[in-house]
């Protein structure tokens, strides 16, 4: 195996592991957010009592931007994601950093943040597709 082949293989493995790390980070952030009252998003009178923060957020974000839901929501979401990133183990942080090296072999922390935020929104969209949410939407 040549040096370039080795580096390419290593980068691929780091990206694969980074995707898993980012998914787990986002899911932990979602569990943290679910500790909040769903009413902090806004009026939850239209939602069942058993709906949690993420349930309501996944529905509300289908029609609105975060600022329309609550002016502080975006800051809260990013802060929660940042806090979960700060809780990563040294090994997990290392893998993320190695997966997002730029051409100068410097860590692209902005790209890491974009990937985390993007995955968070993907997970919210997946949550919206849950049977519980879809049943509610159909009855609405």
3 state SS of 101: strand
CA distance 12 to 96: 12
pLDDT tens per residue, range 75-86? 999 999 999 999
3 state SS of 2: coil
Per domain, the residue ranges of the chain are: 3-139
Long-range pairs for 82-88 at CB < 8 Å and ≥24 separation? 83/29, 83/32, 84/25, 84/26, 84/28, 84/29, 84/32, 85/25, 85/112, 85/116, 87/28, 88/21, 88/25
Count the neighbouring beta carbons within 10 Å of the beta carbon of residue 140. 8
Copy the structure tokens of residue 122. 């993907």
CA distance 23 to 29: 10
Sequence-distant (≥ 6) Cβ neighbours of residue 76 within 8 angstroms: 33, 70
pLDDT tens per residue, range 7-61? 778 778 888 999 999 999 999 999 999 998 877 776 667 888 889 999 999 999 9
Sequence-distant (≥ 6) Cβ neighbours of residue 78 within 8 angstroms: 117
pTM of the model: 0.89
pLDDT tens per residue, range 67-123? 888 888 999 999 999 999 999 999 999 999 999 988 788 999 999 999 999 999 999
DSSP letter string over 120-132? HHHHHHHHHTSHH
């Amino acid at each position: 195996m040549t040096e370039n082949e080795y580096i390419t293989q290593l980068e691929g493995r780091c990206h694969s592991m980074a995707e898993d790390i980012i998914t787990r980070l986002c899911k932990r952030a979602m569990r943290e957010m679910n500790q909040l009252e769903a009413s902090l998003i806004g009026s939850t009178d239209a939602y069942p009592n058993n709906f949690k923060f993420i349930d309501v957020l996944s529905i509300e974000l289908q029609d609105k931007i975060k600022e329309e839901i609550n002016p502080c929501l975006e800051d809260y979401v990013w802060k929660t994601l940042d806090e979960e990133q700060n809780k990563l183990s040294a090994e997990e942080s290392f893998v993320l950093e190695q997966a997002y090296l730029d051409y100068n072999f410097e860590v692209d922390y902005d790209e890491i943040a974009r990937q985390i935020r993007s995955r968070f929104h993907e997970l919210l969209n997946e949550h919206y597709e849950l049977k519980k949410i879809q049943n509610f939407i159909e009855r609405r």
